[in-house]
Amino acid sequence: MNDDKTWKSRSALTSFSSDETMFKEAIRAFALAEIAPLVSEMDSNQEIAPELIKMIFDMGLMSIEIPEEYGGSQSSFFNSIILIEEISRVDPSVAILVDVQNTLVNNAVYRWGSKEVRSRYLPKLASEWIGAYALSESVSGSDAFGLKCQANQSGNDWVINGRKLWVTNAAEASMYIVFANVNPIIGYKGITAFLVERDAQGLSVGKKEDKLGIRASSTSELILENVKIPSERILGSIGEGYKVAIETLNEGRIGIGAQMIGLAQGALDHTKNYIKEREQFGQPISDFQGVQFQIAEAATNLEASRLLVYNAARLKDEGKDFLVPAAMAKLHSSKMAQSVTSLCVDLHGGYGFTSEYPVEKFYRDSKIGTIYEGTTNMQLQTIAKGLLK
């Protein structure tokens, strides 16, 4: 990649999108030039720099698959995965911002939204609005359909009451996809997806979690007290919320896989440079066969995860069944990321345990991979059911 900073041009990035290699190089150049200098400060402040968010929008990185008629880049899901991977090599916190927007929110609005909903929200999501996905509650994590948030009809409107937890992007979001049950008696078949705007009366953003990793990414509680929503802002039909959740989360798992391979690659990149410089017993520690073997094994496991993630993304773009491949990709990549980043901390010795070197942050960031958008046990269950049905 040359140094003319063509990544700064949205039109240039759009033209690159047809060439995956050029697109990847452009995103990498952007991440190194604009995100890398801010990583430590954003982690300490627990906030993504507002000027960086504006730049990401201006470059079209929050609307990879949104059609051009709505102001998007109209590119592929695979390019969304490349985007998440490359940003994660520098900062997984920024990567999850674009991940949730592209693989969860945008896809749900486009696939399940009416023509009116698409016209109202997609141009805003492409240009300035951050979206958030509000599914989990205190009593419904892995049991996502055990949610207690309820919506009751009032004329042509619906009134929502409840609390949501672990809402990524909640602090910055202008719009939330809120899942509520319109008829708890029939269980998950009553779950409905509502589009709730930030300024809706009765909506407030609660406690912001103080997290182990991806600290710049906001994770907050969402409180809904008699929030009135018109029927026109339902995604899909009444009672189809469980379908919206399942389909979008299946895609989201591939995005988390991309985040994990990206951060593992970032940690490994720093470690390969470090072990060539660090000397012990009169030679670089990279000359020791024991260290070489560890690096080789880590790189092999990382590449296996990358192939699983890429395969799932390709299947999704081709309209083929990707349920089990997506679960496999998330399962393998999240476990791999913890293993690889742990090794990278070890190979840095005492320095690896300090914030002076970036591997400490990659290690902290990796832990979330086995938890959000479906825990490891849930992925195993999905894979087993898919194989044995």
User: What residues are annotated to the active site?
Assistant: 373
Residue 302 exposure: Cα atoms within 13 Å on the Cβ side: 26
Query: What gap in Å lies between CA 222 and CA 110, rounded to an integer?
Result: 23
**Contact (Cβ atoms closer than 8 angstroms) between residue 223 and residue 160:** no
Query: What gap in Å lies between CA 233 and CA 261, rounded to an integer?
Result: 36
